[in-house]
């Protein structure tokens, strides 16, 4: 019983770590590269403008898709690893 | 065949398809009605979420907003997609595991409190009703432009179609019509965009065309656009924003508002497994991104097209911008699409200086001396942002069937979102209000009937409000996203990630977050949006710390979190069975394993 409980706790802790990692990237591309850090990226030209503009209108959305599929793939593995899948 | 006949054919065929699906998908149980029986494939669900999410605002208005605001309005692109990362990681899988039918039901059970459930019902209804008015009004515009019926008649036709598939088919009917509507709307959106991108940049993929070279002038498209708009006294299209705090908070409000909107969340209840709820979020964003990656290309290309229509010399490589913008076209020589849209009043021309030419520029102080020199007496052409997407096929000289497709696509976007919202409203009434509070002993059959009746009433109310939109319809973004961000999202998230937040904490948090947000919006937009009752003018210099009423939802959410945690610490912790419930939603497998019982 105690094992099952600590197993579940370890699963949840791993999930929280994974979510934290995903949300760091999520914030970095949108609030970071596309908004706050845009002046720093101004020197990197792309198609008549700068990298920050690309992140604001394309890059952040593409990264969001990548984050979700990465999270799904990792979680499905965690589910199995901890024996908690349906 | 006349354009009118083509439009009728496309819209009629799409409506016939939706009604056919409705008859095929007729439901017999509340489980079918609320969650489509719970057996939807995640890719199918992803597509349905795409249509559910992409409203008349996404399809018709968003490109226009970006065209007008340039970089500053990238907030809509990031805000309305970034919410899906939050849904996938913070909400959807756990709410699916909880396995009930509505969002207020989770809040009521998790915070073991009927008042909490009722607060959630009120938030849901206010947010969804405001939102649905916009959809019905959008459908009305599409009808009046393309089918030459007046907006009210158009609305009634739309209402009858929605009635068919949503009252008969519930979530099941809505799911499969949304899949069909997604396909219609994405084809309608991308085909004109591809042709315009080819025409301007020789690149058939609009998101790549956006960063390619403008064929006619040989300079990058965005550099060309910057040159043209600054020559006319506007800000650079790609110019950075000074008020970064407001931009961050607005994006955050849209993201957490997106994640907290009930009509999106309930779509995740329709899949068989927790893993499927996660997959659904990923697929949904893929399908949404097809439109959202195209929209910024449509925006900048349409803005450039309009400017170079008026100032043809600006389209090629320009040595002297002064000279190239000195002679706009004669009003007589305007292209056909301007004529067509003038009839709807969405493009207006007034020859202020009586020279028979169209002067399109920014009436700002910085441009005033140039304008005076040239004998210009004010901007003469006003173009409503909402027409950019709808007029795209005509601007690009595409054949008539593409215009028919756009008409069907605009209606698909409006109807699919309206149906999702109406289902969220009716299930809150029949399941949370009637079964949850008024008559808990209602039979399965009785509840299904109640669900159908509340759906019908909701459709009638929405149609009436769509035809007679109250003054605040335009404030839908502030209100719906503010409420979802400040009240529902934090409550749902804390319900899953904290075992310590209790009933008192959650209710206090939701109410303070909600009231704070509403008061801030009302101070600038007028109390209950009644014109003239605002305490402060809605301009940047009067906003607290430069935070606009549209961005305040994120602050409301932070207040909600802070209040809920503080009050919960000061009061008793939730009973053991509630802590067990929280445990059980965290693990895809049965609750027993998780709690060790």
User: What one-character-per-residue DSSP string does B464-528 give?
Assistant: HHHHS--GGGGGHIIIIIHHIIIIIHHHHHHHHH-SS--HHHHHHHHHHHHHHHHHHHHHHH-GG
Inside any domain, residue B151? yes
Looking at the structure, do residues B352 and B420 belong to the same domain, yes or no? no
Q: Which of B34-43, B137-146, B217-226, B296-305 has the lowest mean pLDDT?
A: B137-146
Looking at the structure, do residues B219 and B339 belong to the same domain, yes or no? no
Residue among B242, B259, B282, B287 with most chain A CBs within 10 A, to mutate: B282
> B416: domain CATH number?
1.20.1730.10
CB-based contact A1 B596, cutoff 8 Å: yes
Over the stretch A38-78, which tens digit does the pLDDT of each residue have? 999 989 999 889 999 999 999 999 999 999 999 999 999 99
Inside any domain, residue B552? no
The pLDDT confidence band at residue B139, using thresholds 50, 70 and 90, is confident
How many residues comprise chain B? Answer: 597
- The total number of structural domains in chain A stands at 1
Inside any domain, residue B286? yes
Looking at the structure, do residues B24 and B74 belong to the same domain, yes or no? yes
Inside any domain, residue B560? no
Instruction: Match 């432009």 to its residue by tokens.
Output: B145
> Please, which residues bridge with residue A49 across strands?
A46
Which residue in the set B77, B226, B248 is minimally distant from A36, CB to CB? Answer: B248
**ipTM surpasses cut 0.90:** yes
Instruction: Match 């097809």 to its residue by tokens.
Output: B290
Which residue in the set B81, B222, B593 is minimally distant from A47, CB to CB? Answer: B222
Looking at the structure, do residues B227 and B376 belong to the same domain, yes or no? no
**B89 chain-A contacts, CB cut-off 8 A:** 19, 22-23, 68, 71
Inside any domain, residue B223? yes
The nearest CA of chain A is from the CA of B93 a distance in Å of 10
Looking at the structure, do residues B457 and B403 belong to the same domain, yes or no? yes
Instruction: Match 């506007």 to its residue by tokens.
Output: B234
B333: burial class by Cβ within 10 Å (0-12, 13-18, 19+)? exposed
Residue B521 has pLDDT above 60, yes or no: yes
| Residue B471: per-residue pLDDT | 61
Looking at the structure, do residues B257 and B390 belong to the same domain, yes or no? no
Nearest to B74 by CA among B361, B295, B371, B326: B295
Contact B465, B126 (CB under 8 A): no
Over residues B13-38, the mean pLDDT reads 90
Inside any domain, residue A23? no
Query: Of B394, B413, B431, which marks where a domain is finished?
Result: B394
Looking at the structure, do residues B375 and B466 belong to the same domain, yes or no? no
| Mean pLDDT rounded to a whole number for chain B | 91
Alpha helices in A1-86 (DSSP H): 2-27, 38-41, 51-54, 60-81
Over residues B313-336, the mean pLDDT reads 90
Looking at the structure, do residues B386 and B409 belong to the same domain, yes or no? no
**A69 chain-B contacts, CB cut-off 8 A:** 282
Sign of CA dihedral B247, B250, B253, B257: negative
Inside any domain, residue B484? no
Inside any domain, residue B228? yes
| Residue B327: per-residue pLDDT | 87
- The total number of structural domains in chain B stands at 2
Helices B62-69, B274-310: inter-axial angle, 10-degree rounding: 50
| Residue B358: per-residue pLDDT | 94
Looking at the structure, do residues B257 and B373 belong to the same domain, yes or no? no
Give the separation between CA B528 and CA B525, rounded to whole angstroms.
8
| Residue B398: per-residue pLDDT | 85
Looking at the structure, do residues B77 and B121 belong to the same domain, yes or no? yes
Residue A26 has pLDDT above 60, yes or no: yes
Looking at the structure, do residues B406 and B461 belong to the same domain, yes or no? yes
The nearest CA of chain B is from the CA of A53 a distance in Å of 7
The nearest CA of chain B is from the CA of A5 a distance in Å of 5
Over residues B455-474, the mean pLDDT reads 82
Pairing mode, strands A49-50 and B347-349: unpaired
Higher pLDDT, B558 or B321: B558
Inside any domain, residue B297? yes
CB-based contact A69 B82, cutoff 8 Å: no
Over the stretch B349-392, which tens digit does the pLDDT of each residue have? 999 999 999 999 998 888 898 899 889 999 999 998 888 888 88
CB-based contact B77 A61, cutoff 8 Å: yes
Closest residue, chain B, to A42 (C-alpha): B240
Show Cβ contacts of residue A20 under 8 Å, excluding neighbours closer than 6 positions.
none
Looking at the structure, do residues B336 and B384 belong to the same domain, yes or no? yes
| Domain housing A61 | 32-79
Contact B208, B293 (CB under 8 A): no
| Domain housing B379 | 329-394
Cα A39-A41-A47 angle, rounded to 5 deg: 115
Helix (H) or strand (E) segment spanning residue B34: helix B30-35
The nearest CA of chain A is from the CA of B493 a distance in Å of 13
Residue B596 has pLDDT above 50, yes or no: no
Inside any domain, residue A52? yes
Over the stretch B384-431, which tens digit does the pLDDT of each residue have? 888 888 888 888 788 889 889 998 999 999 999 999 999 999 999 999
| Residue B595: per-residue pLDDT | 31
| Residue B546: per-residue pLDDT | 93
Inside any domain, residue A9? no
Q: What percent of chain B has pLDDT over 70?
A: 97
């Amino acid at each position: 019983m105690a094992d099952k409980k600590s197993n579940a706790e370890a699963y949840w802790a791993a999930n929280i770590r994974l979510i934290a990692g995903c949300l760091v990237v999520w914030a970095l591309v949108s609030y970071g590269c596309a908004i706050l850090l845009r002046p720093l990226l101004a020197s990197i030209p792309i198609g008549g403008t700068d990298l920050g503009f690309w992140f604001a209108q394309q890059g952040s959305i593409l990264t969001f898709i990548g984050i979700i599929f990465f999270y799904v793939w990792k979680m499905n593995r965690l589910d199995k690893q901890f024996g908690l899948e349906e | 065949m006349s354009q009118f006949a083509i439009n009728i054919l496309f819209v009629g065929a799409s409506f016939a398809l939706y009604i056919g699906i409705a008859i095929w998908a007729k439901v017999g149980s509340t489980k079918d009605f609320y969650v489509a029986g719970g057996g939807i494939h995640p890719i199918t669900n992803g597509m349905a979420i795409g249509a559910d999410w992409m409203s008349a605002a996404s399809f018709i208005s968003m490109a226009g907003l970006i065209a007008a605001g340039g970089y500053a309005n990238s907030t809509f692109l990031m805000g309305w997609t970034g919410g899906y990362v939050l849904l996938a990681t913070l909400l959807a899988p756990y709410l699916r595991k909880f396995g009930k039918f509505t969002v207020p039901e989770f809040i009521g059970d998790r915070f073991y409190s009927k008042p909490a459930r009722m607060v959630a019902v009120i938030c849901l209804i206010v947010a969804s009703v405001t939102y649905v008015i916009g959809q019905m009004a959008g459908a009305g515009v599409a009808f009046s432009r393309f089918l030459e019926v007046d907006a009210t008649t158009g609305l009634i036709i739309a209402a009858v179609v929605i009635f068919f598939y949503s009252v008969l088919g519930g979530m099941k009917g809505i799911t499969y019509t949304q899949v069909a509507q997604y396909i219609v709307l994405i084809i309608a959106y991308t085909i004109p965009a591809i042709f315009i991108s080819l025409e301007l940049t020789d690149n058939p993929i609009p998101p790549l065309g956006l960063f390619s070279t403008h064929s006619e002038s040989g300079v990058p498209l965005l550099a060309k656009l910057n040159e043209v708009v600054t020559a006319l006294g506007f800000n650079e299209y790609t110019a950075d924003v000074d008020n970064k705090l407001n931009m961050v908070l607005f994006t955050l409000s849209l993201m957490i508002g997106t994640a907290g909107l009930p009509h999106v969340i309930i779509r995740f209840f329709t899949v068989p497994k927790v893993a499927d709820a996660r997959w659904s979020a990923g697929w949904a964003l893929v399908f949404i991104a097809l439109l959202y990656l195209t929209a910024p290309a449509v925006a900048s290309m349409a803005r450039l097209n309009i400017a170079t229509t008026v100032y043809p010399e600006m389209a090629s490589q320009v040595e002297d911008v002064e000279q190239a913008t000195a002679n706009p076209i004669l009003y007589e020589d305007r292209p056909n699409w301007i004529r067509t849209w003038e009839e709807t009043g969405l493009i207006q021309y007034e020859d202020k200086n009586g020279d028979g030419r169209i002067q399109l520029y920014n009436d700002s102080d910085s441009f005033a001396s140039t304008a005076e020199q040239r004998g210009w007496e004010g901007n003469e052409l006003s173009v409503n942002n909402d027409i950019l997407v709808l007029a795209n096929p005509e601007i690009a000289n595409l054949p008539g069937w593409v215009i028919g497709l756009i008409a069907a696509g605009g209606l698909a976007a409006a109807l699919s979102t309206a149906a999702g919202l109406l289902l969220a409203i009716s299930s809150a009434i029949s399941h949370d209000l009637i079964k949850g509070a008024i008559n808990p002993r209602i039979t399965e059959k009785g509840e299904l009937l109640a669900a159908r009746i509340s759906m019908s009433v909701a459709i009638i109310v929405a149609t009436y409000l769509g035809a007679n939109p109250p003054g605040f319809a335009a404030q839908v973004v502030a209100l719906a996203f503010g409420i979802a961000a400040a009240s529902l999202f934090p409550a749902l998230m804390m319900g899953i990630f904290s075992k310590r937040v209790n009933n008192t904490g959650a209710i206090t948090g939701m109410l303070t977050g909600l009231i704070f947000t509403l008061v801030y919006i009302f101070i600038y937009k007028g109390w209950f949006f009644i014109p003239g009752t605002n305490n402060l003018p809605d301009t940047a210099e009067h906003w607290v710390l430069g935070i606009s009423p549209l961005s305040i939802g994120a602050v409301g959410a932070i207040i909600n979190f802070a209040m809920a945690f503080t009050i919960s610490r000061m009061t008793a912790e939730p009973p053991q069975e509630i802590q067990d419930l929280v445990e059980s939603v965290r693990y895809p497998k049965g609750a027993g394993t998780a709690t060790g019982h």
